[in-house]
């Protein structure tokens, strides 16, 4: 084994000699408790890493790797694996990793950290928090839902209220719906469990959605990782109802929701991660809080069912949110 | 003299034969599973080894993972000795954590020599109470401890969740141990320095005093079980409660005390994990080491000193898992598969022995748990 | 025995009172803003009842598994593992047959789920009978094995397309409230409810049931009467495993439409409690499962209504506290089958 390591070191040294002209970037990603291909935020972030690596000529599986976190106690350990191996950039995904990421960044000033969904209260020069205006895309989703509902009742089935981005989606959704129809009835539920279960409990998402449907809701916003996916699939099993996804364009990631999926309230994690990795590789290195894009996904097959005036209205709202003439009322 | 040495040697080799064979077979089967599903077992095991023993940091990780497993393993093993199956180590661990944190974050200005033992004792006491309840229920109502300890696990984690709950959008007020400076995060403040377990050696390795306390506890439990009257009673009750009663013992009292002792050990595990390593409690720091205690105890065939080695084995698997994933890309879930396989072959020695020709008659006994 | 009967008639009365109240609440319109309008639908509304039934189905199936095993003398705490394996196998089969017509694909997946559960049952029987492993340990091993294997083998890029949807039963579904709750459900829910009656009849009114119970109570006596004790135990454990597998199939193919690691989330343990609460009878276990389902429904109704006075963690504790009270016998002492958990050897060794 020792021999093996030695020859490996020689090889790497040789490789480094050969390519000194072009500084190679090594990027590592640590997931939240969950999987790299969860059809949700871990997956979007990992996609950002792989695309950035491709563009920078780094090899996936060697220079770009991920570690899936098994236990919340291991966040720091997993980040350490990349630091010990001399990786240049470490992406940590999720609000819950904020503390472990910040302390690793403070101890390792040579390494650049990207914290997805991690708001930076006390910015460090080598740590960028990729955050989003989730309330804005939630607002757009709410406005769309209020335009689509016939029963006058809409619902949101959300991951935990212990995670601010989720609350931002939920509050934005309510505000957007009320902006269109002030007297609309919005049923809002957050998963009652801890962070570790709140995003991985599809049956709760589905059962709660059924409950909301029983109470008359006909447009349902499912926002909360796999829990939210459970909600969307439950809506899909009922005819004539609409559902709205979250994070990415879920039309592409969750085909099972096609029967009801009008749109998704997106936060564009993938491009945000790519941009941040690139700022490191070209030496400009952004730190502090970095706002990624947020928008409504295309309507795909439901394009005909959304009237043209609603589309115009949504576009106006989007502009209004961006220039500040419309406020979501969240965190302001 | 040589006869007795021979006897001891025979006893030791027969005690070690099953676990060692079980390990070999389980790792081999794990390799087969990995090969079948397109993973490289050699790279995986290499990564596992590097992550557990490849550097000082790796060794430290292994020892830190081993420490709580020794104590939860003892918690399960002690109950087994009394004929009880304690699935509740997870809940007892969590309650121990919460109690030690509650003491550790308060009482500023108390000297370490008082504060630290008080916080440890609070953890032990919490665990003891949580363990004694199923014992009492068993003795007075006949409720099976398997069901009650499982339910107590759920209740413990919900209760702990409530104590640190940050308060949410739905209007519920925050829990009593919540740290308001953590904004929206559900967690306690850091334990005061006067209640933290002192570090030993290089502070970057986080090696705290707990890694010594745990093996000492194993030694103490061994002495208690095999060298004291109480231990004799526990073992007698575990073998046959009726016989114990005829012999003038009090099986009810022994049952409750054994469960309390078990709970206290798991509670101590929680206290050490908190005061030594995490320095705070958050709901994500669940009680998985409590469940792994079951594997540890069975692997050790419920012997208190065996527990130390079994915990070390599992601790190194856990410590190496990240590195294995990093180096070989094999999902860390394979660790659970290997653990289950080890457990199967340890718990059903007849399977291993049926692979081992001859010698069948003397080895026919089932697992020594009752 | 008398007390037992009194307890079950009391439970029946309570159940009837509950149903009557529910019908009354859902067919009456209360004044806007009155306490009735605010609180009664929370406790008895159709959405609460639907949630109760939905949460109860996997518990009922798991409990039937427990009853079959324990009645024949095999303690099974591995229901959780059998469910999880069933769920996983159902998912794999569903993904493999995605391109088939929906119902064909779903039916095949149900069969796969049950087969996988049955295999786990066989494994449990082999460990307990052939290899004389402690049955409680064998159950624990099954759980750990199922958790590890399903997580390791789960291909997260695989997507299951579609799930069972509600089938309204003609005429019956038009009955107010009852029709909406009981007769507008997806298929596995109906199957579970029918199975309760089937297992009841099989256990108490057939020769097979008599023998099963004899094997679980007095294996020695059964043996002398010429019953093959271990054959009955194997059979019951395998059938039980199939039912637990069906419970897993329910989660994947009817409730969610997707697999998720550890998605059984303790349902196997709760069904074990339902077995004991229900005194090892199918209808008793069903009532207990409904009760557990109801406490979950209530928790969610309170969440939806934004009731925050009681911390939600304490509301979530209710099922577990109820279980402890139940097994502690405060609702009447219960007795497991006498030989449950004991290895049977012809020569009388244990």
pLDDT digit string, tens, across residues A92-101: 998 889 889 9
A115-129, B15-29, B265-279: least confident range: B15-29
Tell me how far apart the alpha carbons of residues C180 and C171 are, in angstroms, rounded to a whole number. Answer: 11
In the block, residue with structure tokens 């409810």: C193
Minimal C-alpha gap between B222 and chain C (Å): 23
pLDDT at A130 over 50: yes
Per-residue pLDDT at C340: 78
pLDDT at A34 over 90: no
C185 in helix, strand or coil? strand
Q: Do the bridges between strand A288-291 and strand A127-131 make them parallel or antiparallel, or are there none, so unpaired?
A: parallel
Tell me how far apart the alpha carbons of residues C216 and C73 are, in angstroms, rounded to a whole number. Answer: 4
Q: Considering only alpha carbons, which residue of chain B is nearest residue A33? A: B284
pLDDT band at B68 (very low <50, low <70, confident <90, very high): very high
Q: What is the pLDDT of residues C22-67, one digit of tens each?
A: 888 887 877 777 777 777 888 888 889 999 999 999 999 999 999 9
Tell me how far apart the alpha carbons of residues B262 and B128 are, in angstroms, rounded to a whole number. Answer: 7
pLDDT at C185 over 50: yes
Q: What is the DSSP letter of B199?
A: B
Minimal C-alpha gap between C189 and chain B (Å): 26
β-sheet bridge partners, residue C79:
none
Which of B144, B148, B343 is closest, CB to CB, to C141?
Answer: B343
Give the mean model confidence (pLDDT) for residues A103-132: 91
Q: Considering only alpha carbons, which residue of chain A is nearest residue B162? A: A194
Which of A192, A197, A214 is closest, CB to CB, to C50?
Answer: A214
Q: What is the pLDDT of residues A140-199, one digit of tens each?
A: 999 999 999 999 999 999 988 878 888 899 999 999 999 999 999 999 888 887 777 788
Per-residue pLDDT at C110: 97
Contacts of A232 in chain C (CB under 8 A): none
Contacts of B284 in chain A (CB under 8 A): 33, 72-73, 96, 194-196
Minimal C-alpha gap between C257 and chain A (Å): 7
pLDDT at C146 over 60: yes
Instruction: Tell whether C162 is covered by a domain.
Output: yes
Per-residue pLDDT at B168: 64
Read off the pTM.
0.88
- Look at residues C140, C145, C87 and name the one whose alpha carbon lies nearest to residue C116: C87
Q: Considering only alpha carbons, which residue of chain B is nearest residue C123? A: B344
Whether B332 has its CB under 8 Å from any CB of chain A: the answer is yes
Cβ within 8 Å, pair A211-C301: yes
* Cβ neighbours of B17 (radius 10 Å): 15
For helices B56-81 and A75-84, the axis angle rounded to 10 degrees is 150
Tell me how far apart the alpha carbons of residues C347 and A191 are, in angstroms, rounded to a whole number. Answer: 55
pLDDT at B58 over 60: yes
Contacts of C301 in chain A (CB under 8 A): 211
Q: How many domains does chain C have?
A: 1
Per-residue pLDDT at C187: 95
Mean pLDDT computed over every residue of chain B: 88
Contacts of A96 in chain B (CB under 8 A): 284
Tell me the residues of chain C between 117 and 136 that have a Cβ less than 8 Å away from chain B.
127, 130-134, 136
Whether A242 has its CB under 8 Å from any CB of chain B: the answer is no
Instruction: Tell whether C103 is covered by a domain.
Output: yes
Domains defined for chain A, CATH in brackets:
23-132+270-291 (3.40.50.2300), 134-267+299-323 (3.40.50.2300)
**Residue A17, both tokens:** 């000699």
Per-residue pLDDT at B365: 39
Which of A192, A229, A256 is closest, CB to CB, to C299?
Answer: A192
Task: Compute φ and ψ for A105, nearest 5 degrees.
Answer: -65, -40
pLDDT at B184 over 80: no
Instruction: Tell whether C35 is covered by a domain.
Output: no
Instruction: Tell whether C291 is covered by a domain.
Output: no
Q: Considering only alpha carbons, which residue of chain A is nearest residue B281? A: A73
Whether B213 has its CB under 8 Å from any CB of chain C: the answer is no
In the block, residue with structure tokens 């003397």: B362
Task: Compute φ and ψ for A268, nearest 5 degrees.
Answer: -85, 80
What is the domain extent for residue C70?
Answer: 58-265
C53 in helix, strand or coil? helix
Q: What is the 3-state secondary structure of chain A?
A: CHHHHHHHHHHHHHHHHHCCCCCCCCEEEEEEECCCCCCCHHHHHHHHHHHHHHHHCCCECCCEEEEEECCHHHHHHHHHHHHHCCCCEEEEECHHHHHHHHHHHHHCCCCEEEEECCCCCCCCCCEEEEECCHHHHHHHHHHHHHHHCCCCEEEEEECCCCCHHHHHHHHHHHHHHHHHCCCCEEEEEECCCCHHHHCCCHHHHHHHHHHHHHCCCCEEEEECHHHHHHHHHHHHCCCCCEEEEEECCHHHHCHHHCCCEEEEEEECHHHHHHHHHHHHHCCCCCCEEEECCEEECCCHHHHHHCCHHHHHHHHHHHHHHHHCCCCCCCCC
Pick the residue of B43, B178, B282, B337 with the most A CBs within 10 A to test the interface with A by mutation: B282
Contact indicator for C217, C339 with CB cutoff of 8 Å:
yes
pLDDT at C198 over 60: yes
Per-residue pLDDT at C104: 94
Higher confidence at residue B22 or residue A332? B22
Contacts of B283 in chain A (CB under 8 A): 194-196
Pick the residue of A157, A199, A202, A251 with the most C CBs within 10 A to test the interface with C by mutation: A202
pLDDT at B364 over 50: no
In the block, residue with structure tokens 């490191």: A280
Cβ within 8 Å, pair B326-A164: no
Q: Under 8 Å CB-to-CB from B64, ≥6 apart: which residues?
A: B206, B207, B211, B277, B315, B319
Higher confidence at residue B80 or residue A18? B80
A103-112, A254-263, B238-247: least confident range: B238-247
* Cβ neighbours of B62 (radius 10 Å): 21
Instruction: Tell whether C126 is covered by a domain.
Output: yes
Tell me how far apart the alpha carbons of residues A1 and A106 are, in angstroms, rounded to a whole number. Answer: 34
pLDDT at C290 over 70: yes
Which of A70, A85, A96 is closest, CB to CB, to B321?
Answer: A70
Instruction: Tell whether C227 is covered by a domain.
Output: yes
Per-residue pLDDT at B367: 38
Q: Under 8 Å CB-to-CB from A302, ≥6 apart: which residues?
A: A242, A261, A262, A263
Per-residue pLDDT at C15: 80
Instruction: Tell whether C330 is covered by a domain.
Output: no
Mean pLDDT computed over every residue of chain A: 87
Q: Under 8 Å CB-to-CB from B101, ≥6 apart: which residues?
A: B177, B188, B191, B274, B280, B281
Cβ within 8 Å, pair C303-A37: no
Instruction: Tell whether C216 is covered by a domain.
Output: yes
Q: Considering only alpha carbons, which residue of chain A is nearest residue C152? A: A35
Give the mean model confidence (pLDDT) for residues A251-264: 91
Contacts of A229 in chain C (CB under 8 A): 258
β-sheet bridge partners, residue A112:
A89
Q: What is the pLDDT of residues C231-278, one digit of tens each?
A: 999 999 999 999 999 999 999 999 999 898 889 988 998 898 889 888
C29 in helix, strand or coil? coil
Which of B85, B146, B158 is closest, CB to CB, to C313?
Answer: B158
Q: What is the DSSP letter of C184?
A: E
**Residue C256, both tokens:** 């969610």
Whether B362 has its CB under 8 Å from any CB of chain A: the answer is no
Per-residue pLDDT at A6: 44
Sheet arrangement for strand A64-69? A64-69, A27-33, A89-93, A112-116, A127-131, A288-291
Per-residue pLDDT at C200: 96
Contacts of A82 in chain B (CB under 8 A): 326
Cβ within 8 Å, pair A162-B284: no
Note the ipTM here: 0.86
């Amino acid at each position: 084994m020792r021999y093996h390591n030695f020859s490996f070191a020689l090889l790497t040294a040789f490789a480094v000699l050969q390519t000194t002209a072009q500084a190679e970037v090594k990027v590592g990603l640590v997931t939240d408790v969950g999987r790299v291909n969860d059809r949700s935020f871990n997956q979007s972030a990992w996609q950002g890493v792989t695309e950035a690596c491709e563009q920078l000529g780094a090899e996936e599986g060697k220079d770009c790797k991920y570690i899936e976190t098994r236990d919340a106690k291991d966040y720091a350990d997993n980040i350490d694996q990349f630091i010990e191996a001399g990786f240049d950039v470490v992406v940590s995904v999720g609000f819950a990793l904020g503390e472990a990421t910040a302390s690793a960044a403070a101890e390792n000033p040579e390494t650049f950290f990207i914290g997805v969904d991690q708001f930076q209260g006390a910015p460090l020069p080598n740590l960028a928090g990729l955050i989003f205006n989730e309330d804005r895309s939630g607002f757009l989703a709410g406005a769309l839902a209020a335009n689509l509902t016939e029963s006058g009742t809409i619902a949101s089935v959300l991951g935990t209220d212990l995670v601010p981005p989720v609350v931002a989606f939920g509050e934005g959704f309510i505000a957007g719906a009320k902006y269109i129809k002030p007297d609309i009835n919005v049923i809002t539920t957050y998963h009652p469990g801890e962070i570790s279960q709140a995003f991985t409990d599809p049956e709760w998402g589905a059962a709660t959605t059924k409950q909301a449907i029983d109470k008359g809701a006909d447009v349902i916003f499912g926002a909360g990782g796999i829990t939210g996916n459970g909600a969307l699939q439950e809506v899909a099993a009922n005819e004539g109802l609409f559902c709205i996804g979250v994070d990415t364009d879920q039309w592409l990631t969750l085909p099972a929701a096609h029967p009801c999926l009008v749109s998704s309230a997106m936060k564009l994690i993938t491009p945000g991660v790519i941009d941040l990795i690139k700022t490191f590789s070209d030496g400009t290195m952004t730190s502090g809080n970095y706002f990624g894009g947020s928008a409504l996904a295309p309507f795909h097959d439901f394009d005909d069912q959304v009237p043209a005036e609603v589309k115009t209205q949504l576009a106006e709202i989007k502009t209004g949110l961006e220039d500040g003439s419309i406020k979501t009322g969240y965190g302001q | 003299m040589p006869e007795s040495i021979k006897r001891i040697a025979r006893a030791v080799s027969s005690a070690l034969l099953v676990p060692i064979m079980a390990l070999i077979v389980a790792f081999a089967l794990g390799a087969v599973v990995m090969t079948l599903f397109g993973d490289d077992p050699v790279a995986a095991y290499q990564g596992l080894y590097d992550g557990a023993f490849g550097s000082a940091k790796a060794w430290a990780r292994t020892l830190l993972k081993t420490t709580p497993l020794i104590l939860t393993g003892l918690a399960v093993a002690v109950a087994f000795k009394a004929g009880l199956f304690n699935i509740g180590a997870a809940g007892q661990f969590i309650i121990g954590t919460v109690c030690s944190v509650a003491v550790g974050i308060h009482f500023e200005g108390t000297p370490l020599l008082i504060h630290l033992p008080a916080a440890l004792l609070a953890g032990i006491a919490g665990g003891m109470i949580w363990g004694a309840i199923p014992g009492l229920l068993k003795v007075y109502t006949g409720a099976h401890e398997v069901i009650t300890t499982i339910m107590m696990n759920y209740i413990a984690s919900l209760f702990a969740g409530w104590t640190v709950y940050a308060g949410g959008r739905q209007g519920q007020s925050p829990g009593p141990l919540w740290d308001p400076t953590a904004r929206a995060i559900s967690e306690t403040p850091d334990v005061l320095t006067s209640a933290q377990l002192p570090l030993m050696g290089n502070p970057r390795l986080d090696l705290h005093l707990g890694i010594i306390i745990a093996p000492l506890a194993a030694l103490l439990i061994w002495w208690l079980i095999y060298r004291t009257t109480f231990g004799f009673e526990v073992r007698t009750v575990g073998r046959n409660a009726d016989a114990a009663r005829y012999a003038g013992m009090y099986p009810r009292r022994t049952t409750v005390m054994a469960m309390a002792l078990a709970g206290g050990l798991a509670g101590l595990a929680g206290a050490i994990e908190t005061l030594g390593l995490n320095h705070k409690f958050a709901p994500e720091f669940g009680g998985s080491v409590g469940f792994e205690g079951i594997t540890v105890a069975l692997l050790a065939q419920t012997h208190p000193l065996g527990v130390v080695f079994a915990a070390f084995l599992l601790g190194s698997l856990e410590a190496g898992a990240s590195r294995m994933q990093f180096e070989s890309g094999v999902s860390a879930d394979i660790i659970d598969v290997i653990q289950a396989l080890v457990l199967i072959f340890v718990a059903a020695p007849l399977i291993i022995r049926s692979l081992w020709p001859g010698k069948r008659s003397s080895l026919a006994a089932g697992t020594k748990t009752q | 025995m008398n007390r037992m009967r009194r307890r079950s008639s009391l439970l029946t009365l309570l159940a009837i009172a509950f149903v009557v109240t529910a019908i009354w609440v859902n067919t009456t319109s209360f004044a806007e803003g009155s306490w009735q309008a605010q609180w009664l639908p929370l406790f008895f509304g159709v959405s609460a009842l639907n949630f109760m039934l939905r949460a109860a189905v996997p518990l009922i199936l798991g409990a039937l598994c427990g009853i079959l095993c324990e009645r024949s003398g095999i303690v099974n705490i591995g229901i959780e593992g059998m469910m999880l394996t069933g769920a996983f196998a159902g998912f794999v089969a569903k993904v493999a047959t995605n391109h088939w017509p929906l119902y064909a694909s779903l039916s095949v997946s149900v069969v796969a789920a049950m087969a996988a559960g049955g295999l786990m049952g066989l494994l449990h029987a082999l460990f307990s009978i052939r290899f004389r492993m402690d049955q409680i340990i064998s159950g624990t091993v099954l759980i750990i094995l199922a958790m590890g294997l399903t997580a390791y083998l789960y291909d997260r890029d695989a997507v299951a397309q579609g799930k069972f949807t509600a089938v309204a039963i003609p005429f019956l579904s038009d009955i107010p409230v009852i029709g909406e709750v009981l007769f507008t459900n997806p298929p596995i829910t109906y199957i579970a409810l029918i199975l309760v009656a089937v297992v009841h009849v099989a256990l108490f009114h057939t020769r097979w049931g008599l023998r099963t119970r004899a094997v679980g109570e007095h294996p020695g006596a059964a043996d002398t009467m010429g019953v093959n004790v271990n054959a009955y135990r194997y059979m019951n454990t395998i059938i039980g495993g199939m039912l637990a597998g069906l419970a897993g199939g329910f989660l994947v193919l009817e409730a969610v439409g997707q697999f998720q690691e550890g998605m059984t989330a303790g349902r196997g343990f709760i069904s074990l409690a339902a077995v004991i609460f229900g005194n090892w009878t199918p209808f008793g276990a069903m009532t207990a499962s409904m009760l557990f389902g109801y406490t979950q429904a209530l928790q969610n109704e309170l969440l939806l209504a934004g009731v925050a006075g009681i911390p939600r963690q304490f509301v979530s504790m209710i099922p577990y506290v109820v279980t402890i009270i139940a097994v502690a016998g405060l609702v009447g002492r219960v007795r497991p089958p006498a030989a449950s958990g004991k290895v049977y050897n012809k020569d009388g060794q244990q």
